Amino acid sequence: MAQVPPTENKMGTMPVGRLLAGMAVPMMLSMLFQALYNVVDSFWVAKLGQDALNAVSLAFPLQNLMFSLGGGTGVGMNALLSRSLGEKRQDLADRAANTGVFLFLCSGVVFCLIGLLFSGPFFRALTDNPQIIRYGEQYAGICLGLSFGLYGQLCFERLLQSTGRTVLSMASQLTGAIINMILDPILILGLFGAPRLEVAGAAIATVIGQFCAAALGLTLNLRKNREIHLHLRAVRWHGETAKEIYRVGFPSILMMSIGSVMNFFLNRILISFTEAATAVFGVYFKLQSFVFMPVFGLNNGMVPIVAYNYGAAREDRLRRTIRLTIITAVVIMSLGFLIFQLFPGQLMALFKPEDEAQLASYAEMLAIGKVALRIISLHFPLAGFCIIAGSVCQAIGNPFYSLIVSICRQLLVLLPAAWLLAQTGRLDLVWFAFIIAEGVSLLLSSIFLRRTMRAAKASIAARQSAGEAPA
């Protein structure tokens, strides 16, 4: 029986400004809330002292590696799914969704093994402080060992986003974040009769929130997401679909994974000065998420629109979406820059310990942090453009451009620059490596975005001439 073509998706008909706002604002709000609960997590852990804060901060590369695999898989799945819907290929869209679920499950198995086997060696490679190692093993072992919750949450939220149901995706994400925020002080400090689990409590609160968000996301997809059809029998390996998902998603996986490598080696550079420097670096990553997370939400709202309209051969909508997204991202990042310049001390004060015996180490961290936040934030406006440019390249079929930019920025420029500046013996100079690296990223991103748009224009024109573009 011939399939009935699906009705036109709003991504091909609604005015671009209203469409981008409707797609992106819910995601931006949910990502902002996600940033809030990341900070709340470290806020409560910081009450335990600098060792606890350092353990959570040093665990970031492992957590980022875990998120990288899921985030990249989601990028590939969403791009294929949205493009298939734009081309009116319901069978391919459903296959992308079901194969994507299978790939996320496999990711959970991989990181469960990593968490159980490699958490200890990882922390011992960074420090010989036994307290940091003990806290770190607990935190990473739980978060990675029970990563099925995170991967379920990422998968089902991305499926909702790919069909424009960003409000439902936000509901899933907010559910996990709120549960985590409620449980954090209870489990970390042992409130209301609960055991005092300290850093392990932060990890358990995170995992519980992720599993709850995954359960809600699955329910919403089954009941509300009519444009894709999930079936248990179809959740399996399909080679061609997996290949296409990772063709687009693998560069994104590598790009985010490169961030883990950069973070690991930069922590080794910083800890050679003082443990307070690594604590500051961890605090920076928590605080900068308030600026970057809304841009990532904006970015996630843009990608399905770009992919859909590229598949539908609508160049005018494609260009308007990209232009508006870049302007919005640069404005957000500029506001973040101003906040970091004006209020660095107040931002660092969020992580002040309760124990008076810890105040001396906090004073050192505060002094380092004020300088670091002001210097690093200089690259924020440039990063706004680079983030969007890279995702445009991924969404319309040039993912390796983004990979090249990421490798150059974080491995070939940032780390060598940080190491060279560290040789001066001045910690404050090390932070300038971020500005140097972002300048290189801006140059490359501009070149690659222009090339990608020229290729997209030629592809659309060829399909229209051949009568292959959807009517």
Q: How many CB atoms lie within 10 A of CB 371?
A: 14
How many angstroms separate the CA atoms of 336 and 383, rounded? 11
* Tokens matching residue 428: 């404050």
Query: What is the band of 339 on the pLDDT scale with cuts at 50, 70, 90?
Result: very high
- The answer to whether residue 129 is domain-embedded is yes
Give the burial class of 63: count Cβ atoms within 10 A of its Cβ; 0-12 exposed, 13-18 middle, 19 or more buried.
Answer: buried
* 4 inside domain: no
Which range, of 1-10, 32-41, 48-57, 418-427, averages the lowest pLDDT? 1-10
- What does the pLDDT read at residue 461? 86
- Of the two residues 96 and 433, the one the predictor is more confident about is 433
Which token pair is 139? 């935190």
pLDDT mean over 304-332: 89
Check whether 140 has a pLDDT greater than 90: yes
Q: Would you say residue 445 lies in a domain?
A: yes
Query: What would the mean pLDDT of 31-54 be, rounded to a whole number?
Result: 84
> Would you say residue 1 has pLDDT above 50?
no
Using the predicted structure, report yes or no on whether residue 5 has a pLDDT greater than 60.
Answer: no
pTM beyond 0.75: the answer is yes
Instruction: Kindly tell me the burial class for residue 263, based on how many C-beta atoms sit within 10 Å of its own C-beta (0-12, 13-18, 19 or more).
Output: buried
Summary mean pLDDT of the chain: 88
Structural domain tally of the chain?
1
Q: Is 54 domain-assigned?
A: yes
Tell me if residue 224 falls in helix, strand or coil: helix
User: What's the pLDDT tens digit per position in 348-375?
Assistant: 998 888 776 677 778 899 999 999 999 9
Decide: residue 236, CB within 10 A, 0-12 exposed, 13-18 middle, 19+ buried: exposed
CA-closest candidate to residue 372, choices 335, 353, 347, 350? 347
CB 420 within 8 A of CB 334: no
Looking at residues 148-164, what average pLDDT do you find? 89
Report the distance separating Cα 392 and Cα 448, nearest Å. Answer: 10
Q: What is the pLDDT of residue 3?
A: 47
Q: Which two three-digit tokens encode residue 65?
A: 């590696």
Tell me whether residue 2 is in a domain: no
pLDDT at position 11: 67
Residue-level pLDDT at 326: 95
**What pLDDT, on the 0 to 100 scale, is given for residue 2?**
45
Rounded to an integer, the average pLDDT of 53-63 is 90
* Range in 33-37, 201-205, 412-416 the model is least confident about: 33-37
Q: What is the pLDDT of residue 8?
A: 57
Tokens 């292959």, residue located: 468
Predicted confidence at residue 4, as pLDDT, reads 44
Distance CA 213, CA 174 (A): 8
pLDDT the model gives residue 398: 73
Q: What is the mean pLDDT of residues 449-454?
A: 91
CA-wise closest residue to 434 among 410, 467, 407: 410
With respect to residue 444, please indicate whether it lies within any of the assigned structural domains.
yes
Full domain range(s) for residue 224: 13-465
Residue 216 is predicted with a pLDDT of: 96
Over residues 121-130, mean pLDDT: 91
Q: What pLDDT does 372 receive?
A: 96
**What does the alpha-carbon distance between residue 41 and residue 182 come to, in Å, rounded to a whole number?**
10
At 396 the pLDDT is: 80
Interval 178-196 mean pLDDT: 93
- Encode pLDDT of 229-242 as tens digits: 888 888 889 888 89
Per residue in 198-231, pLDDT tens?
A: 999 999 999 999 999 999 999 999 998 888 888 8
Question: Is residue 303 assigned to a domain?
Answer: yes
Q: Sorting pLDDT into bands at 50, 70 and 90, what band is 38?
A: confident
Confidence bin at 164 (pLDDT 50/70/90): confident
Q: Is 223 a domain residue?
A: yes
Greater confidence (276 vs 251) lies with 276
pLDDT tens column, 252-265: 788 778 888 899 99
pLDDT at 468: 62
335 confidence band (pLDDT: 50, 70, 90): very high
Helix-, strand-, coil-residue percentages of the chain, each rounded to 5: 85, 0, 15
